[in-house]
Structure 1
Amino acid sequence: MTGMGNGINRRRLFAASGGIALTGALAGALAACGSNTGRGGGGSGAGISQWYHQYGEPGVQTAVKRYAAAYEKADVRVQWRPGDYDRQTAAALLTDSGPDVFEVNGPLLDQIRGGQVVDLTAEVEPVKDDFNQAVLAPKIWQDKIWGIPQAVDTQLLYYRKSMLRDAGVEPPQTLDELVDGAKKLTGKKTKGLFLGNDGGVGVLGGTPLFAAGLSLIGEDGKVGFDDPAAARTLGKIRQLYADKSLLLGAPADWSDPSAFIQGLTAIQWSGLWALPQVKKALGDDFGVLPFPKDGAAGKPSVPVGAYGSAVSARSKRPAEAKAFAKWLWIDRSDYQRDFALSYGFHIPARISLARKAGQLRSGAAADAVRFATDHGYAEPLLWTTADRTAYQDALSRIIKDGANPESELKTVVRKVNAELQRVKKK
């Protein structure tokens, strides 16, 4: 997978993905979008436009145009959208010149409640149970399915077997073991753990909360971390920072495995996309783990995300658009495997396809698929940009400044409660 500096890629799944308000600047952004259009579709039927954000992996653009050209029931025109894709899409969905079928990143609440996307329940329902349920959940509102997950990205811990063995440290199964192990693994040239150059503030998100058996938003639609266990768990992340067990200021950030490969850290948090590079460099001298559980009610935690294919409510050909989305992301399993694994390293969104994929059937890759299936969580539909900002700001103060986790989280809980009330009034 290419770095962020070389183009937008699937790592954006883990970036902020809340709804985007339309402003005057958005209309300008839409007008400024290039007509970067690839003519696809060998069919003689009605024309359909399909939008993708700009992937960083070489070959993706050619592949999606090839898929479109193979569709015989409509003439599908693929548009590759460089720049701020989410902003472009938000503007376009309010016009008659927007896409028929388009990618959406993260939860769909704003588009659903704004009447901007169409119901895809009938298309997905027959195979609903075969999708990774964690990534399907943010596409569901009021028991209806509004998007089809395309491919799954996930994050996990990479650990260097030889370094742990030499230090007498077992692969950590609990957060306490991770804290203790990272301290033992820290020496003059090597740090025990790398969670990013900011100490994990930007990447961890709700992962520690899920590891404590909590959630961001509970099934009851209320704050899911208004619990003393949340403060205890985040206090342990602060302990890693205070112990100086964390690698900070690495040449490349958490999404790049170079610090791990070069031996600057014994354990690193990174994405599944890094696995081929790690394996090529280290052979079998590494393993992968979920974020370890914390406390009696805790459980291993693995963040997952998936772009979804949605259909615009302003499409002039909604039936044809829905039929194409179903054909590509449900019927054509060969294209789904190709999309996930031929231009990067991702998990097909369908569980059955992930299990059959040869690249994912052994070793650390198979472990990663199992973790994503058994322990995966995605940001819930009701977790908004305001919620995310409030929580991440508090996490920064806790980890870097040593702020009191209990008081910080109380403030976040109040803000999230207020945001939930605002959202539910719409």
Structure 2
Amino acid sequence: MESRTRRLTVSSIAALAAAALVAGCGGSGSTGSSGADGDTLTLWTHNAGNAAEYGVVKQIVKDFNAGQSKYKVKIQAFPQGSYNDSVVAAASAKKLPCILDVDGPNVPNWAWGGYLAPLDLSKGKVAVKDQLTSTVATYQDKTYAFGFYDVALTMYSRKSVLKKYDIRVPTLDQPWTKGEFMDALAKIKASGKFKNTLDLGTGDPGEWWPYAYSPMLQSFGGDLIDRSAYKTAKGALNGEKAVEWGKWFRSLVTKGYAPQKSSKSPADDFRNGKTAIQWDGSWSAQANTDKFGSDLAILPPVDFGDGPKIGGASWQWGMSSTCSNKEGAQAYLNFSRQTKYFVDFAKATGTIAATDAAAQQVKGYETGGQFNIFLKAAQEFAVVRPVTPAYPYISTVFSKTARDILAGANVSSALDQAVSQIDNNLSTNNYSTGS
């Protein structure tokens, strides 16, 4: 089972990538070719330090190479810590591999910069239309990457705790309203039995902040950017609904419901009984089940007024624009699009398979399975992060703004400043619209 820190890394990759893009081609596209030596194609992955997922990648490459004689794929695996720098350096030098994995929210930035080429996935055995929307990355109506899996945000509690304090167990069809949620927190807080009534994981750095908390903003009716044209954050991030979200977010600390900064191990705090309700993800489901068994309560996100929302998109696969053998790269990517590989990735990573057909073959995620709630949540509630090359910058600005709000900054002023910074970035870089 992988941690959320490992799954959510767009900020570290994208911040470096964005700098390289702006300093390099500036959105005008790349020239030259690389990534292949004749019919031998290079594939890069960040999974060197993750034996289970890397094993699936190696199996697909082995099967592809054995199944035909025209192309050969060679793997170069990096530890995640060095993958970021390696990709950025190669992109700047126009020496990217033909095939590479990329964090989903980062795809528009790389597509805009000319480092990724559009894909034709029509020859794969799994149709794009059958995938979770969050696992297919598009930009300006073209597909640039696809993933084999996703994860889902959720709240964990214990049925016995909710019953003790006469709190309704929410369902996908009837999630908690804001009022119900706040009443539940008040009841638990009043008992004095828990160190943390609610733990939002605020001690985690980086991409966790927009991934975990912008869905709450969206459920209030705000957003990180106005998605009608992707040209401004005004109104979306500093409008009435966004301000309401910010004041509520801060109130969780002032009312003593949640710590301003969580411990380094919020999942352990939940499993050790220090936390009553934890905002976490599907990656913790098995460990929590092992601890609490049938007493574990897996709860859907709260409906704060505009419907329940969770973040969407994880690691995906694409083809570099500088690949000198795009036909071979496309052949490999289409070959990989078989249900059995979607199943293998989901099992290896403890994640949600990107298709319903694959999910039915993963224990617990099948219809009626204990973890099927995650698949349904990903299907019904997932919102991809803004499809714009500006997302790496938006992510950084939102993360700082949310931290400032929790620390007591004036909500309206903080959000206004965030909008000003984001809009200036959009204007300065002349980003084209998302899709």
Matches within 5 A, 1:83-162: 83-95=81-93, 97-105=95-103, 106-123=105-122, 127-136=127-136, 139-162=137-160
Which whole-Å CA distance do the structure 2 matches of 1:13 and 1:345 have between them? Answer: 20
With over 3 angstroms needed to count, the CA separation of the structure-2 counterparts of 1:424 and 1:251, relative to structure 1, is closer
Q: SS of the residue aligned with 2:41?
A: strand
* C-alpha displacement of 1:2: 4.5
Q: SS of the residue aligned with 1:99?
A: coil
Any idea what the Cα deviations from partners look like across 1:155-207, whole Å, max 9, x if unmatched? 21112111111111224612332233123212144421111254999533412
Q: What is the aligned counterpart of 2:286 among 265, 273, 276?
A: 276
Query: Who is 1:375 aligned against?
Result: 381
Query: Who is 1:244 aligned against?
Result: 256
Q: SS of the residue aligned with 2:374?
A: helix
Aligned residue identity for 2:387: L
Matching of residue 76 in structure 1 with residue 69 in structure 2: no
Q: SS of the residue aligned with 1:322?
A: helix
Contact 2:45 2:78 in 1 (8 A): yes
Query: Who is 2:30 aligned against?
Result: none
Matching of residue 337 in structure 1 with residue 348 in structure 2: no
Query: Who is 2:320 aligned against?
Result: 312
Which whole-Å CA distance do the structure 1 matches of 2:141 and 2:318 have between them? Answer: 16
Query: Who is 2:215 aligned against?
Result: 207
Name the stretch that deviates more: 416-425 or 158-167.
416-425
Any idea what the Cα deviations from partners look like across 1:62-113, whole Å, max 9, x if unmatched? 3321211111332211111112322211221344543110001123223212
Q: SS of the residue aligned with 1:284?
A: helix
Matches within 5 A, 1:223-238: 223=233, 224-238=236-250
Contact 1:14 1:305 in 2 (8 A): no
Name the stretch that deviates more: 74-83 or 197-206.
197-206
Q: SS of the residue aligned with 1:79?
A: strand
Which whole-Å CA distance do the structure 2 matches of 1:155 and 1:280 have between them? Answer: 19
Q: SS of the residue aligned with 2:155?
A: strand
Contact 2:221 2:242 in 1 (8 A): no
Query: Who is 2:32 aligned against?
Result: none
Q: What is the aligned counterpart of 1:176 among 172, 176, 179?
A: 179
Contact 1:101 1:309 in 2 (8 A): yes
With over 3 angstroms needed to count, the CA separation of the structure-2 counterparts of 1:94 and 1:392, relative to structure 1, is closer
Name the stretch that deviates more: 277-286 or 195-204.
195-204
Contact 1:10 1:55 in 2 (8 A): no
Aligned residue identity for 1:141: Y
With over 3 angstroms needed to count, the CA separation of the structure-2 counterparts of 1:164 and 1:247, relative to structure 1, is farther
Name the stretch that deviates more: 259-268 or 207-216.
207-216
Matches within 5 A, 1:33-72: 46-54=39-47, 57-71=50-64, 72=67
With over 3 angstroms needed to count, the CA separation of the structure-2 counterparts of 1:248 and 1:417, relative to structure 1, is closer
Name the stretch that deviates more: 229-238 or 240-249.
240-249
* C-alpha displacement of 1:147: 0.9
Q: Which runs of 5+ in 1 are unaligned?
A: 27-44
With over 3 angstroms needed to count, the CA separation of the structure-2 counterparts of 1:153 and 1:55, relative to structure 1, is farther
Aligned residue identity for 2:358: L
Q: Which runs of 5+ in 2 are unaligned?
A: 25-37, 171-175
Matching of residue 406 in structure 1 with residue 418 in structure 2: no
Contact 1:290 1:301 in 2 (8 A): no
With over 3 angstroms needed to count, the CA separation of the structure-2 counterparts of 1:260 and 1:421, relative to structure 1, is same
Which whole-Å CA distance do the structure 2 matches of 1:124 and 1:412 have between them? Answer: 43
Q: SS of the residue aligned with 1:115?
A: coil
Contact 1:193 1:266 in 2 (8 A): yes
Which whole-Å CA distance do the structure 2 matches of 1:169 and 1:200 have between them? Answer: 32
TM-score, with normalisation over the residues of structure 2?
0.82
Aligned residue identity for 2:118: D
Q: SS of the residue aligned with 1:104?
A: strand
Matching of residue 394 in structure 1 with residue 401 in structure 2: yes
Q: What is the aligned counterpart of 2:359 among 351, 354, 357?
A: 354
Q: SS of the residue aligned with 1:196?
A: coil
TM-score, with normalisation over the residues of structure 1?
0.84
Contact 1:199 1:246 in 2 (8 A): no
Any idea what the Cα deviations from partners look like across 1:324-350, whole Å, max 9, x if unmatched? 01111x2x2101210111x23101222
Aligned residue identity for 1:318: K
Q: SS of the residue aligned with 1:234?
A: helix
Which whole-Å CA distance do the structure 2 matches of 1:247 and 1:9 have between them? Answer: 23
Which whole-Å CA distance do the structure 1 matches of 2:11 and 2:346 have between them? Answer: 17
* C-alpha displacement of 1:47: 1.1
With over 3 angstroms needed to count, the CA separation of the structure-2 counterparts of 1:96 and 1:228, relative to structure 1, is closer
Which whole-Å CA distance do the structure 2 matches of 1:417 and 1:306 have between them? Answer: 26
* C-alpha displacement of 1:364: 4.0
Query: Who is 1:167 aligned against?
Result: 165
Contact 2:135 2:146 in 1 (8 A): no
